[in-house]
Structure 1
Amino acid sequence: MSVEDKPLHPVRGYLRSKPSRGRTTEAVTDALREAILDGALAPSTWLREDEIAATLDVSRTPVREALRRLADEGLAHKTAHHGTVVSPMSMEDILALYVIRENLEGLAARLAATRGEPGLVPALRKVQARMEALADTGDAAALSRHNITFHRLIREAAGNLYLERFLGQAEQAVRRLAPTTFAFPGRAVTGCAEHAEIIEAIAAGDPDAAEEAGKRHMRNAREIRFSKMMGA
């Protein structure tokens, strides 16, 4: 195989430009993280320092630090004497993810309803309108992007840095679950309806209703995910 015919390393397209001085580690970490979250680097893929360094035209030092950071985030796993691989996700991992996210998303909605941050409800309704317009198009990728924005707005409005951090990590893990639940028949419509319930509870300043709506939304997503995984 010639050099020209050699397949490109999956991470190459995720480094948008040459890292600026002093930001190499951050740029390499971001590129690897996005490649993992997008599925370009599949679970159990070996992350070899020399290959990644050569692909991104950087030294091995920032790659080594980037792999350490990804291991801390749970996206990579260091094996004894063999190197680092992209962390796999078992059925138990996915179940644990949804259980914790259900409670955290419920708490975020409760806090958002309690705090009543100005501008949150209009921002949520704007995202909701875009999602409703996409519901019949079958554009699951666009729906997923707007869904991420919807939940990010709520967790930021909750005003709790620890909750925001934990939900950010959960969001990353969910991005690894392909396909998005919005690709499943009927989920775009039901998901939008569940979002509407969350919005109205927050708008009414009803923490109990907001929390229950947020938790119910996650439970339904979990049930759909597992029914598809089990071939139902």
Structure 2
Amino acid sequence: MSRSQAESKAREEILLLILKRRLVPGQRITEKSLAELCEVSRTPVRTALRELIAEGILERDEPKGYVIPPLTPPDMLQIFQIRQELEGMAAALAAESPEPCYSASLRQIEALQEEEKRIYRNWNTENFTRNSQEFHHCICRMSGNPYLEKYILQSYWRSQIYVFFFDAFFLHGFDSATDPEPVYGYSFAEHNEILEALRNRDGQRARNAMEKHVLSTYKWLTNSRR
């Protein structure tokens, strides 16, 4: 395994441990313990930890430790507020992006939507996480603004910690025998709204649809916590 592959594996494994709630907010973790859990050496873990700190997923806990920041209502509100503004701007710019970036990115987003159908049907939280991340990041890249990409990446992953620990889909999944239309969910429908706005090259509609999507995620999570 190459160095870059080991670093990528370490990062993915740490995120998976958080997704599965084997690492929880406030828990102190070390390079050594993570290297053992991820089955890689400490060097790629150290690189992965630096990336996760930059993205707001982890914080340093001296000496030589790390911690998932505690989850609080004020922090949750603030991170979703900034996501709403930044991603709304990115969606508006994406709708007006020049060729050939526009067509290539649109095809990728359409493929992600088709994949999302299958993911919901199979109740796969890991694949859903990867798909949703790529959907949002593809739109961000489509905007053509590297500063937006940088700050959206950080706010997106920080908000995902709240998703992993409060979203009913991640906690319980859904029951196809009792839940009405469970396979698509609100997220899929709202992704479709964003996609349609991008297809029509309607920047304002794309902005509104993205802002609505981020806000409804926040509202869904706050309701799930009650």
User: Does residue 178 of structure 1 match 2:164?
Assistant: yes
Which one scores higher on RCO, CA 8 angstroms, separation ≥ 6?
2
Q: Secondary structure at the match of 2:24?
A: coil
Offset at 1:201?
Answer: 1.0
1:192 to 188, 193, 200: 188
Q: Secondary structure at the match of 2:67?
A: strand
In the TM superposition, what whole-angstrom CA distance separates every residue of 1:107-139 from its partner, at most 9, and x where no partner exists? 111010011512222222221122234444434
Over alpha carbons, which structure has the higher Rg? 1
What residue in structure 1 maps to residue 152 of structure 2?
167
In the TM superposition, what whole-angstrom CA distance separates every residue of 1:54-104 from its partner, at most 9, and x where no partner exists? 776757x88777656644443333446685433222222222121111112
Give the unaligned 5+ runs of structure 2.
Answer: none
Number of matched residues? 210
2:200 to 201, 204, 207: 204
User: Does residue 220 of structure 1 match 2:189?
Assistant: no
Q: TM-score, normalised by structure 1?
A: 0.72
For 1:94-173, list aligned pairs within 5 A.
Answer: 94-116=76-98, 117-173=102-158
Contact 2:28/2:61 (8 A) holds in 1? no
Task: Letter of the 1:98 partner, please give it.
Answer: F
Question: d(CA) in 1 for partners of 2:8 and 2:127?
Answer: 25
Shift in alpha-carbon separation, 1:36–1:71, aligned structure 2, 3 A: farther
Higher helix fraction: Structure 1 or Structure 2? 2
2:30 to 42, 48, 60: 48
Offset at 1:106?
Answer: 0.9
Question: d(CA) in 2 for partners of 1:209 and 1:42?
Answer: 37
Question: d(CA) in 1 for partners of 2:12 and 2:192?
Answer: 34
Question: d(CA) in 2 for partners of 1:156 and 1:128?
Answer: 17
Shift in alpha-carbon separation, 1:217–1:181, aligned structure 2, 3 A: farther
What residue in structure 2 maps to residue 91 of structure 1?
73
Offset at 1:220?
Answer: 1.2
Offset at 1:29?
Answer: 6.8
Contact 1:102/1:215 (8 A) holds in 2? yes
Shift in alpha-carbon separation, 1:115–1:43, aligned structure 2, 3 A: same
Percent of aligned pairs sharing the same letter = 26
Shift in alpha-carbon separation, 1:78–1:195, aligned structure 2, 3 A: closer
Offset at 1:196?
Answer: 1.5
Contact 1:29/1:70 (8 A) holds in 2? no
The more displaced of 47-56 and 200-209 is 47-56
Q: Secondary structure at the match of 1:123?
A: helix
Q: Secondary structure at the match of 1:89?
A: coil
Q: TM-score, normalised by structure 2?
A: 0.73
Shift in alpha-carbon separation, 1:196–1:64, aligned structure 2, 3 A: closer
Contact 1:25/1:65 (8 A) holds in 2? no
